[in-house]
């Protein structure tokens, strides 16, 4: 959530940078400023009434002591009238504050100045390519055919149990999932991230804290009876661990990681891009989160990107890194790098990770502050990244390593799988 002070200080710059998202923020920003001016006036009015009541209260006490009960009674009546005025002013003030908050919750984060303009993923900026492209014959197959051939994933059984987008992993497919889980977590802890095991059901405050609500309300699974949400990513419970916290600067950077299942409705998804493991309603992911000082969050972002790149190199997957354009940028992000791997069976690139700097946007919602920067506590910066999401990684591993003998397992995963080929 944008800060009011930020909006007052940099009104035109914020409106201009929001336009990178193809978002016209002029009306919303002007409405906030107008309501905030009225809020200040109403606060001044209320403060004046309360000060007047306090003065009269002291005067009434002195009058009663001196025996001037008649005048004291008249002043007491005036106090009753002032109380009613203060009640009305308080209600109007509360309404203005709520109106401002509601508008702020709907405004996306201001993009970093380096974010390229554009409307969709076609306008994203290619930053880097790495790895070796696989050379497969004409008989190469997509992962959904390989999964059936080797009996490792059953999409129809998942549809029977739940519905489309909920596959059942079997035999060596299930072992590959477990191998990826341990491989990613072990690498994260070696990198200095503390492993957590958070709840996967989150409350409404947590959804608002990291910005999934109200923006992604329709994309999240809602447990209506308890008003809980199935977490769409471990970013939500991990970051919300620090909601309403003041963190000592000596504790920074905070680096945490977790494996969780993730749940997304993906409403409106259809076509070949959702076939097989390409887009699921339930999937597994290891997430990394950092909380850091504002002055070094972009160097932290670069280090997180290097870490994710290292995972893809270990898995021997061809990859590319793109900087998201304004039109493709997530609601809460100031700058995001996407990592894509090449899927040889589908002959297309698949997004497997997003690494983002939210700057103070989430911290302002969370009321997450740092003490020790100055005399005054300041908002922290939060960052997160997928490290990594399992389904498309598994799809690429199956497709890129297929041969007439079977599917070769990358050397880095063999200690975790206990086998080096799927036959």
**pLDDT mean over 211-215:** 95
- Distance (Å, whole) CA 401 – CA 136: 9
Segment 118-170, tens digit of pLDDT? 999 999 999 999 999 998 877 899 999 999 999 999 999 999 999 999 999 99
Segment 99-112, tens digit of pLDDT? 999 999 999 999 99
Only one residue has tokens 């608002």, namely 208
Q: pLDDT band for 373, please (50, 70, 90 cuts).
A: low
pTM: 0.92
Q: pLDDT band for 267, please (50, 70, 90 cuts).
A: low
- Distance (Å, whole) CA 76 – CA 247: 48
Q: What is the pLDDT of residue 268?
A: 54
Segment 297-331, tens digit of pLDDT? 999 999 999 999 999 999 999 999 999 999 999 99
Of 274 and 241, which is predicted with more confidence?
241
Segment 375-412, tens digit of pLDDT? 689 999 999 999 999 999 999 999 999 999 999 999 99
Q: What is the pLDDT of residue 78?
A: 76
**Phi/psi at 278 (nearest 5 deg)?**
-65, -35
Q: State the average pLDDT for the chain.
A: 94
Segment 174-200, tens digit of pLDDT? 999 999 999 999 999 999 999 999 999
Q: What is the pLDDT of residue 295?
A: 95
Residue 153: C-alpha distances to residues 82, 210, 316 (Å):
72, 33, 22
- Distance (Å, whole) CA 247 – CA 368: 8
Q: pLDDT band for 270, please (50, 70, 90 cuts).
A: low
Q: What is the pLDDT of residue 172?
A: 98
- Domains of the chain, earliest start first: 4-106 (1.10.287.40), 121-422 (3.30.930.10)
Segment 230-246, tens digit of pLDDT? 999 999 999 999 999 99
Decide if 56 contacts 82 (C-beta within 8 A).
Answer: yes
Q: What is the pLDDT of residue 82?
A: 86
Q: What is the pLDDT of residue 69?
A: 66
Q: pLDDT band for 70, please (50, 70, 90 cuts).
A: low
- Distance (Å, whole) CA 87 – CA 85: 5
Of 373 and 4, which is predicted with more confidence?
4
3-state secondary structure the chain: CCCHHHHHHCHHHHHHHHHHHCCCCHHHHHHHHHHHHHHHHHHHHHHHHHHHHHHHHHHHHHHHHHCCHHHHHHHHHHHHHHHHHHHHHHHHHHHHHHHHHHHHHHCCCCCCCCCCCCCCHHHCEEEEEECCCCCCCCCCCCHHHHHHHHCCEEHHHHHHHCCCCCCEECHHHHHHHHHHHHHHHHHHHHCCCEEECCCCEEEHHHHHHHCCCCCCHHHCCEECCCCEEECCCCHHHHHHCCCCCEEEHHHCCEEEEEEEEEECCCCCCCCHHHCCCCCCCEEEEEEEEEEECHHHHHHHHHHHHHHHHHHHHHCCCCEEEEECCHHHCCCCCCEEEEEEEEECCCCEEEEEEEEEECCCHHHHHHCCEEECCCCCCEECEEEEEEEEEHHHHHHHHHHHCECCCCEECCCCCHHHHCCCEEC
Residue 116 C-beta-side C-alpha neighbours within 13 Å: 16
Q: What is the pLDDT of residue 108?
A: 97
**Phi/psi at 396 (nearest 5 deg)?**
-70, -40
**pLDDT mean over 89-93:** 95
């Amino acid at each position: 959530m944008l800060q009011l002070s930020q909006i007052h200080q940099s009104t035109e710059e914020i409106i201009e940078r929001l336009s990178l998202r193809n978002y016209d923020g002029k009306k919303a920003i002007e409405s906030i400023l107008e309501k905030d001016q009225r809020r200040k006036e109403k606060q001044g009015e209320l403060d004046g009434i309360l000060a007047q009541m306090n003065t009269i209260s002291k005067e009434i006490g002195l009058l009663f002591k001196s025996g001037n009960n008649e005048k004291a009674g008249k002043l007491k009546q005036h106090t009753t009238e002032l109380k009613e005025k203060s009640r009305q002013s308080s209600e109007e003030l509360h309404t203005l504050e709520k109106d401002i908050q509601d508008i702020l919750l709907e405004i996306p984060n201001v993009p970093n100045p380096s974010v390229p303009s554009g409307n969709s993923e076609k306008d994203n900026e290619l930053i880097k390519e790495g790895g070796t492209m696989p050379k497969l014959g004409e008989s190469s197959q997509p992962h959904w055919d390989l999964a059936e051939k080797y009996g490792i994933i059953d999409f129809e059984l998942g549809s029977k149990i739940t519905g489309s987008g909920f596959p059942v992993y079997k035999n060596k497919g299930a072992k590959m999932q477990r191998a990826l889980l341990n491989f990613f977590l072990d690498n994260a802890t070696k990198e200095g991230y503390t492993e957590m095991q958070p709840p996967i059901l989150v409350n409404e405050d947590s959804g608002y804290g990291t910005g999934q609500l109200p923006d992604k309300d329709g994309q999240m699974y809602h447990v209506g009876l308890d008003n809980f949400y199935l977490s769409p990513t471990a970013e939500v419970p991990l970051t919300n661990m620090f909601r309403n916290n003041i963190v000592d600067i000596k504790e920074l950077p905070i680096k945490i990681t977790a494996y969780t299942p993730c749940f997304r409705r993906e409403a409106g998804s259809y076509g070949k891009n959702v076939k097989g493991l390409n887009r699921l309603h339930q999937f597994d992911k290891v997430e990394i989160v950092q909380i850091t000082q504002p002055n070094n969050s972009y160097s932290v972002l670069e280090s997180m990107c290097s870490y994710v790149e290292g995972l893809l190199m270990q898995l021997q997957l061809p990859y590319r890194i793109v900087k998201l354009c304004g039109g493709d940028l997530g609601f809460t992000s100031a700058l995001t790098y996407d990592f894509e791997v090449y899927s040889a069976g589908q002959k297309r690139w698949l997004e497997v990770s997003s690494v983002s700097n939210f700057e103070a946007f989430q911290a302002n919602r969370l009321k997450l502050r740092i003490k020790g920067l100055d005399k005054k506590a300041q908002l922290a910066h939060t960052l997160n990244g997928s490290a990594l999401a399992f389904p498309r990684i598994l799809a690429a591993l199956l497709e890129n390593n297929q041969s007439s003998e079977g599917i070769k397992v990358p050397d880095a995963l063999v200690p975790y799988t206990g086998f080096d080929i799927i036959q």
